[in-house]
Structure 1
Amino acid sequence: MTADDRPTAALIIIGDEVLSGRTQDVNLKYLATRLGELGIPLREARVIPDDRAMIVATVNELRHRYRYVFTTGGIGPTHDDITSECVAEAFGLPWEPHPEAWELLARDYASRTPPVEFNAARQRMATMPRGAALIRNAVSVAPGFRVENVYVLAGVPKVMQAMVEAIAPTLTGGRPTVSRTVHAARAMEGQIAAGLGAIQAESPDVALGSYPYYRSAGGGVAIVARGVDAAAVDAAAEKVRALFRSLGFEPREGEPD
């Protein structure tokens, strides 16, 4: 592909539960798709444990490399929720009660029936790097926050998605990513590799990905064309259709069932 001058992003997925296999992450797919719509390519994603030194080092490395850095997980009330204090350390900021978040949570717990104690554990969710900007969400009261170009989001998917939607209008992107998918049953990658390589060489502004699939009724290959120029993406997809036909396969639009 040609040079892409759009702002780029990285995601840091934080949590021992993801690395152990107990929790299956779904936030990566949502964020990558949403950022693509905003014209902000997600260029890197890392999954790291609840380890203070590793979180601090990863945040510091990626915030200097990408326009936007997002973290998910580790902002709850328990002892292993250390993302907030690690981000404070990464920026050299005090980790202290955030007045707005403190008031927000204290009022919410007091308003419940019966009232819930705003104890030391829950107060951790209102303790943030000094000067952090809150990220509200429409699902829960506990906010995320932003420090410079680092956006600290919840790990719970519904809450994380609500936070992403809250900040989406504030993100500066470029041309959105356009994609087209063409698949053919019974086709095999080895049969289309040479022709697909030729199409890629003729389509420098389009990324072509080949994805074999397997079903009980038989497998096939799906080709995804991605880029920011819709006309170029459509042209490449049409060449893929022609390639399938030339090899005796019937191309179909979209992902296989």
Structure 2
Amino acid sequence: MVGTAEPVTAGILVIGDEILSGRTKDKNIGYIAEYLTGLGIELREVRVVSDVEEEIVAALNALRARFTYVFTTGGIGPTHDDITADAVAKAFGVGIDVDPRARAMLLEYIKPEDLNEARLRMARIPAGAELVANPVSKAPGFWIGNVIVMAGVPTIMQAMLDEVAPKLRTGVKVLSETVRADAREGDIGGPLRLIAQAHPDVTIGSYPFMGEDGRPNSNLVVRSRDAGKLAEAVAAVRAMVETVRRP
């Protein structure tokens, strides 16, 4: 990993009709978000698109132009609707064909006589891409430009993310502290806005929940890359909630 003082940003592109239909519940977004936060990479946007080449290309081009990295999940399996690799190749304007390196990886897991046309689709890689190893089932992902293409199966995606993490640029990690308000959001909204305005180098989020007593409550999460500025804002938040906290 290469550290930098400049912000390092990311977007996620989730690909698959099964996600949009609700048939498959996404388990990757939260995992990737938490993983990237731990590396000092700021996730800025998530998009979900169907298995339509034009939509994948458009979303991918929009995200890769805006962020340091784009992570895609889904659509690199052996079936006809696994079209992510073709869409990525089209987005970058490069060819795509069976990669001998990827084919060799598949043969570590699949018997030669079982490597049919469908399975061989998983070895089709855009020209110029670097392979991302898959220690779970061997079918690789790939990395081209600032786009990292991973499987949709959570265990495989997580293994691929571990493979690429050491090569990623990383920024200054975001520090955070949570203050339990013991007050309703409506009671603290005004004063909280004033604190946010007075501390522009921190972000403050309000997250409502039902307390143990069955009454509305909220957690206030303060985030900053600067420990000193974080401490100042947290102190202001603590002082504020003391003044509005219900009996």
User: What is the match of residue 108 of structure 2?
Assistant: 107
User: What amino acid sits opposite 1:123 in the alignment?
Assistant: L
User: What amino acid sits opposite 2:78 in the alignment?
Assistant: P
User: What is the match of residue 93 of structure 1?
Assistant: 94
State how 1:59-70 maps to structure 2 within 5 Å: 59-70=60-71
Tell me how far 1:138 sits from its aligned partner. Answer: 3.2
Q: Residues 179 and 88 from structure 1, CA distance in 2 versus in 1: closer, same or farther, beyond 3 angstroms?
A: same
* Residue 49 of structure 2 is aligned to residue 52 of structure 1: no
Aligned Cα RMSD in Å? Answer: 1.8
Tell me how far 1:65 sits from its aligned partner. Answer: 1.9
Tell me how far 1:10 sits from its aligned partner. Answer: 0.9
* Residue 72 of structure 2 is aligned to residue 71 of structure 1: yes
User: What is the match of residue 157 of structure 1?
Assistant: 154
Paired residues, what number? Answer: 242
User: What amino acid sits opposite 1:148 in the alignment?
Assistant: G
- Matches of 2:245 and 2:43 in 1, distance apart? 36
Helix, strand or coil at the partner of 1:8: strand
- Confirm or deny: 8 A CA contact 2:53 2:83 kept in the other structure: yes
State how 1:1-257 maps to structure 2 within 5 Å: 5-110=6-111, 117-185=114-182, 187-214=183-210, 217-218=213-214, 219-248=216-245
> Structure 2: where are the runs of 5+ without partners?
none
| 1:188-242 superposed Cα distances (whole Å, 9 cap, x missing partner) | 1110012111211221110001111125642301111112112222322222222
| 1:71-99 superposed Cα distances (whole Å, 9 cap, x missing partner) | 11101111111101111111111110011
Q: Residues 244 and 81 from structure 1, CA distance in 2 versus in 1: closer, same or farther, beyond 3 angstroms?
A: same
- Matches of 1:70 and 1:60 in 2, distance apart? 12
| 1:81-119 superposed Cα distances (whole Å, 9 cap, x missing partner) | 110111111111111001111011023212xxxx87111
- Matches of 2:161 and 2:135 in 1, distance apart? 11
TM-score for the superposition, normalised by structure 2? 0.92
TM-score for the superposition, normalised by structure 1? 0.88
Q: Residues 121 and 215 from structure 1, CA distance in 2 versus in 1: closer, same or farther, beyond 3 angstroms?
A: farther
- Confirm or deny: 8 A CA contact 1:74 1:81 kept in the other structure: yes
- Matches of 1:129 and 1:165 in 2, distance apart? 22
After superposing on structure 2, the runs of 4+ consecutive aligned residues of structure 1 that deviate more than 6 Å are none
- Confirm or deny: 8 A CA contact 2:105 2:140 kept in the other structure: no
> Structure 1: where are the runs of 5+ without partners?
251-257
